[in-house]
A and B are shown apart, each in its own frame.
Chain A
Amino acid sequence: MNITEKILAKTSGKKEVSPEEIVEAKVDMAMMHDLTGPLTVESFQKIGVKKVWNNKRIVIILDHQVPAESVRSAELHEMMRNFAKEQQIDNFYDVGKGGICHQVMPEKGYVRPGNLIVGADSHTCTYGALGAFATGIGSTEMAAVLTTGTLWFKVPSVIKISIAGSFQKFVTPKDLILHIIGQMKADGAIYKGVEFAGPTVRNMSVDGRLTMCNMVVEMGAKNGIIEPDETTLNYVKSRTNEPFNSVKSDSDATYEDVLNLDITDLEPQVSCSPSVDNVKPISELEEVSIDQAFLGSCTNGRLEDLRLAAEVMKGRKIKEGVRMIVIPASQEVYHQALREELFEIFAKAGAYVSSSTCGPCLGGHMGLLAPGEICISASNRNFIGRMGSPKAHVYLASPITVAASALTGKITDPRSLED
């Protein structure tokens, strides 16, 4: 069996499972936030059970409309606060305490190899980077999980993507995953699992792996997963004392397909408006002037991302007429970036820097776009209307490409800024 099958077998009490089989699996951790949590709470109340199945295995993180941008959001936050209190859910992260859920979950040690994790958010697939089976579910299903601690899954067939070669300077895991999505297309892995393997992945940091697995949902995948190794175990053990059992794919594991990729010649990639799979190597892009640059989100607001952007921006100024928004993925990242004086670099360049929130990524608040405006973003989606007006355009790229573009006022290959 491959690692995805092994975790689904283990959590459903079976010796073996195979693709297409439907299993009822036990959930190790369940996560919800301020935009999916309220519907979950309403559904949970309608089901009529008094107590959640296990208050230690539930995590609530306020991150989307944070800090509350409207009275309505403030009410939803209050609803979640009250629910956490009433159900004695201690794993509750209020404004300023946690940050974006998909960074907080690994950071606080809730993501452990071999676990089955569900989250009421599509980017829950991020956690596969640490060898867990993790996938997004809806609010009503989350209410069912809160009630029973179990959920049905169809065992997915898995595509293995084996990657070799070293990244060129200023080319990152974001460029790699955009390139893969561009090849696979938006429905290329629909209903399927994606397992990343090979020497490039082995040499990749945890931050990079999280970015890779974060975006598998943009090609339709149910989960993205990377076999745990020393890098994984060092990270997880520094984050939690909870026991876990790592799972690896068998040498004779079966896959629906195995794709081999060499990234030696990979250049920075840009996903062009209005679909994530509309990906081009940056050298093939025509000139695109920008109004806004966004560095942040659960895809690319991590420390490594901020460091790389700061490296490009140090001592430089953002182009006049362009605004840049920098939002760290968590409060821990915020504190560390503060200590490393990265915000000093961004602020001196003329960027707006904030505490952790999902912010403009989903068009919630803080940096929405007017009709006709163009934004280059380190986030994960460029759908019509995603960041504000349906007549605005969003281009997705790596944190370094976003930084370089903010400096020049047009989408720019960061390698061209080298002295």
Chain B
Amino acid sequence: MITGKAIKFGDNIDTDVILPGKHLVLTDPVELAKHAMAGLDPTFPQKAQNGAVIAAGRNFGCGSSREQAPIALKHAGVKCVLAESFARIFYRNAINIGLPVLECPGVSSKVGDGDELAVNLEAGMIENRSKNSTFQATKLPAFIMEILNDGGLIEHLRKNLK
């Protein structure tokens, strides 16, 4: 079970605001994390550091293919991203680096900023403990759950290439 406080964002959050281009020369996840969401909210790393769940609108992670974007979010303390929909490259990148993402229609209206959330990835169920409600996200296919359970694509490949 993943638990954390919700941090809300709107529609079409692009990877340029998640991790601005000038930081792309960084490869160290800890350094990248310092600039997570720098384009929208420079205080984001402080807000997320004790564990957060992003609840966003449509097309989260659109734009550039930079994997540095999900890496920055993960290492800033984001445990899971819930969104109405995702841009496809961000979606794949997040899974590949071991950051769970769930497509979750209606999440924008069901979650408020700061709500305590508990996410059951296997079942695709989200519990909003602040509002005493539960709702269903689109379940992840088995092969994606397997990559996440292995800790990301690298670990998954290492296991399967043995």
Contact = CB atoms under 8 A, between A and B. Distances in A.
B88 A222 contact: yes
A interface, size bucket: 35 or more
Determine which residue in B14, B39, B85, B141 has the highest number of CB atoms from chain A within 10 A of its CB, and name it: B14
Interface in A65-85: 65, 70, 72-73, 76
A138 B85 contact: no
A141 B153 contact: yes
B88 A36 contact: no
A139 B59 CA distance: 20
A140 B93 contact: yes
Nearest to B154: A46
A363 interface: yes
Chain B interface, DSSP helix/strand/loop, else mixed: loop
Contacts of A266: none
Interface in B79-102: 85, 87-89, 92-93, 96-97
Given A220-B88, A384-B40, A36 B66 contact: yes
Chain A interface, DSSP helix/strand/loop, else mixed: loop
Nearest to B94: A138
Given A364-B21, A383-B16, A144 B153 contact: yes
A141 B58 contact: no
Contacts of B11: 186-187
B92 A141 contact: yes
A191 B88 contact: yes
Contacts of A35: 24-25, 66
Contacts of B20: 363, 385, 390
B63 A137 contact: no
Nearest to A35: B24
A47 B157 contact: yes
A383 B14 contact: yes
Contacts of B66: 35-36, 138
B62 A138 contact: no
B interface, size bucket: 35 or more
B71 to A, nearest CB: 8
B160 to A, nearest CB: 10
B120 interface: no
Given A36-B65, A43-B154, A363-B21, A122 B89 contact: yes
A120 interface: yes
A209 interface: no
Contacts of B68: 39
B89 A136 contact: yes
A258 interface: no
Contacts of B97: 140
A124 B89 CA distance: 12
B67 interface: yes
B89 A144 contact: no
A275 B12 contact: yes
Contact of A187 (B85, B96, B158, B161): B85
A302 interface: no
B12 A138 contact: no
Interface in A384-419: 384-386, 390
A144 B68 CA distance: 17
B93 A141 contact: yes
B50 interface: no
A76 B16 contact: no
Contact of A381 (B25, B63, B143, B154): B63
A415 to B, nearest CB: 31
A340 interface: no
B27 interface: yes
Interface in A36-77: 36, 38-39, 42-43, 46-49, 64-65, 70, 72-73, 76
Interface in B49-67: 58-59, 62-67
Contacts of A144: 96, 153, 157
A363 B25 CA distance: 12
A190 interface: yes
B65 A120 contact: yes
B17 interface: yes
B85 A385 contact: no
A18 interface: no
Contact of B64 (A42, A48, A65, A362): A362
A64 B21 CA distance: 10
A345 interface: no
Contact of B158 (A47, A148, A190): A47
A126 to B, nearest CB: 13
14 contacts: A43-B153, A48-B161, A72-B26, A122-B65, A138-B66, A143-B154, A147-B157, A190-B85, A222-B88, A275-B12, A381-B16, A381-B63, A383-B39, A385-B17
Given A122-B89, A141-B92, A141-B153, 5 more contacts: A36-B66, A48-B161, A124-B65, A139-B67, A220-B87
Interface of B: 11-12, 14, 16-17, 20-22, 24-27, 38-40, 58-59, 62-68, 85, 87-89, 92-93, 96-97, 141, 143, 152-154, 157-158, 161
Kindly list the 6 A-B residue pairs having the minimum CB-CB distance in the complex, ordered from nearest. Answer: A138-B93, A187-B59, A363-B21, A362-B21, A138-B67, A122-B65
